[in-house]
Amino acid sequence: MNKTDNKQVKVLFIGDMVGRPGRNVVKDYLGSLQSADKQSNYDFIIANVENASHGFGLTEKNHNELAAAGIDCFTSGNHIWDKKDIYSYINNSDRLIRPWNYPKGTYGVGYRIFNVKDTKIAVLNFLGRTFMNPVDSPWEILKNEIEKIKEEAPIVIVDFHAEATAEKICFGKYCSEHKVSAVLGTHTHVQTADEKIINNYTAYITDAGFCGVYDSIIGMAYETSLKRLVTSIPERFDIEESKVLEFNAVEMSFDAVSGQAQSINRIRFIKDYNEVML
């Protein structure tokens, strides 16, 4: 996309990054865009960060590190509360959002509106309710609030952090009926091959995937994952240690006036960093 084309906005959405390996491969990817003068291809960059600090939660140090890497908005999920210093900074962050359908009075905010080029982008975050802890209805919140949001921001992007694929697909179609620009699934960490534009308006994928160790159990070590699954006894998960890393994301383009999605493409690559200092 030509940066001078004010009728189109291009967005990069990065799937759940898991621990230091996830942060490293994301920073390397964004750094490669800068070094190749390609970062101008993206007007706005979003990343799900709920697993960015040793696989659970987000520390303030890592928040600032990822902001410095060029990520404009951080979405999250049910693990965002796992690092307790979140309570000391979430209300002061200008880019972090937590799921909107937590009860009223919860720390942080469930959506933010950003100025991007000559338009505005609203980023919303919701938790699914199937196989998840009880939360308020994302369906009702979207129905009640979307008209007001669309009046201010033509481009509306939703991170739907959910377990069940059917719930994600149904929510994507529901959002398309309310003229949401994109619904991007997160949480399961496995990139799906169903990217599409629903009802000729809403960019959609069931799961954007994850960023972290390639030969792992969705970012975690095999041995601790195996022990927990075989014995059913709670076991502390550890990040898998390897320098073969995986990067998953989607890139999308939108009409800057209407908010209609024009394209969605998956990004997935595996890179061996054994001979590269990270």
Catalytic residues: 79
Cβ atoms 122, 112 nearer than 8 A: yes
Query: Can you read off the two tokens belonging to residue 198?
Result: 């629903």
Q: How far is CA 29 from CA 163, 180, 267, in A?
A: 27, 28, 11
- Which residue type does 154 have? P
Query: Can you read off the two tokens belonging to residue 86?
Result: 């979140």
For 151, the 3-state DSSP assignment is helix
Query: Can you read off the two tokens belonging to residue 11?
Result: 């967005």
DSSP state, residue 41: G
- List Cβ neighbours of 211 (8 Å cut-off, separation of 6 or more): 14, 15, 16, 17, 18, 21, 22, 25, 26, 245, 246, 247, 248, 249
- Dist. CA 95–CA 83, nearest whole Å: 18
